[in-house]
Structure 1
Amino acid sequence: MKKLSWAWLWPIVWMALIFYLSHQPAGVSSGISSSLARHLFDVVAPIVPVEFETIHTLLRKNAHFLAYFVLSILLVRALRKSGVGLARAIIWAFVGSSLYAVTDEVHQLFIPGRSGELRDVLIDSAGAATGLFVYGIVSRMEWKQQKKASAHQ
């Protein structure tokens, strides 16, 4: 039971972090991402001709993708530790991640200067799908390795 509790703690903590970051008013959120984008721009601009705004947008959208990439993996792991089969766990982790993305964008409608964007839900869902795809590949490789190891015993 203790392992099961820990398995569910991580997706809940990650969802709380997403909620916290989404709850930042537009000025605060933009300030955080602008600061990070400025550092990235200072590194990239001397090598590749790029506008600051392009770097800023890519950083923000990739943050969406990465946040839900991680969330989906945390959810699928918790579901697997709860005894759910791999295929069902992947489906439910995708559904859970995508629904959380929708609620996150609705939540932002109530934050000063923020908006809910369908495009962000699609980016979030793409991140979740990619995370689950990677998880599925790694799980399959581990299964094949275990099967091969047990055949040699």
Structure 2
Amino acid sequence: MCEMNGKNKKLARGWSWLLVLLWMALIFYFSQQVQQQSWNLSYTVLGISIQAIKISQVIIMIGLAGFVIIKLKKRGVTIGIKEFTFIFITAYLLYLLSIGVRQALVPPDLHHFIRKNAHFFIYLILGILVKYALNSSGIKGVKAIGIGLLICVGYAFSDEAHQLLVPGRGGQLSDVVIDSWGAGLGIALHILAVKFFSLREKNKLLETN
């Protein structure tokens, strides 16, 4: 039994570091793209994101209207043409309002905003993966945080240096700062997730006892 647990731990440790390496390889691939390829990719992501938001707005409003109809029927309210028309008009007005809110919240340079936030998000995931891999290797606490940040920030510096060698691209210290904040948040989220699940397990044990 102990031998099996040891094998499972080794397997988990191996897979966790493999995920880190694969994610780093993905970052390397994005950085390897020349300027035009990189911009084309981000514009494609921008177009897909906008369409996804528009579709989700319609789905939410239809869902909201359906939810109201179901609730009214449960309370014994008869849904006639007048009630249905009122619900439809209200949902449509909320949809128009959501469009106005979306347009008001969209940054003037949305493309630049997405590119910078992509940096943050990619390194947030890297932070989570590195912290998980360190925990799987038996490295925890402050030591894991320090080593995790060292790995992520070090890779962010190397990534920006790599971009200096790619035609049309350039490394920026501000991107390293954004990447580092993303990685730091990822590490923090992993710590919170571990604490949350361990607390939930303790509560379950207390309930069974």
Indicate whether the TM-score tops 0.5: yes
Instruction: Give unmatched runs, 5+ long, in structure 2.
Output: 1-9, 55-98
What is the identity percentage for the equivalent residue pairs of Structure 1 and Structure 2?
A: 34
Q: 1:89 aligns with which of 144, 166, 171?
A: 144
1:6 matched to 2:15: yes
What is the aligned partner in structure 2 of residue 21 from structure 1? Answer: 30
Cα RMSD (Å) = 2.1
Task: Trace 1:70-149 onto structure 2 (pairs within 5 A).
Answer: 70-149=125-204
Per the alignment, do residues 40 and 142 of structure 1 end up closer, same or farther by CA in structure 2, a change over 3 Å counting? closer
C-alpha displacement at 1:25, in angstroms? Answer: 0.5
C-alpha displacement at 1:41, in angstroms? Answer: 5.1
Residues 13 and 136 in structure 2, CA contact (< 8 A), matched pair in contact too: yes
Instruction: Give unmatched runs, 5+ long, in structure 1.
Output: none
| TM-score for both structures, normalised by structure 2 | 0.66
Partner letter of residue 62 of structure 1?
Answer: N
Cα deviation digits, residues 64-118 of structure 1 (max 9, x gap): 0010000011011111011112332222112111110000000000000000001
Partner letter of residue 129 of structure 2?
Answer: L
Partner letter of residue 21 of structure 1?
Answer: F
Per the alignment, do residues 51 and 85 of structure 1 end up closer, same or farther by CA in structure 2, a change over 3 Å counting? closer
Partner letter of residue 11 of structure 1?
Answer: V
Q: Distance in 2 between matches of 1:100 and 1:61?
A: 17
Range that drifts further, 106-115 or 126-135: 126-135
Partner letter of residue 58 of structure 1?
Answer: F
Which structure has the larger Rg over C-alpha atoms? Answer: 2
Q: Distance in 2 between matches of 1:62 and 1:35?
A: 15
Partner letter of residue 17 of structure 2?
Answer: W
C-alpha displacement at 1:36, in angstroms? Answer: 2.2
Partner letter of residue 8 of structure 1?
Answer: W
C-alpha displacement at 1:50, in angstroms? Answer: 7.6
Aligned residues: 152
Q: Distance in 1 between matches of 2:105 and 2:46?
A: 12
Partner letter of residue 81 of structure 1?
Answer: S
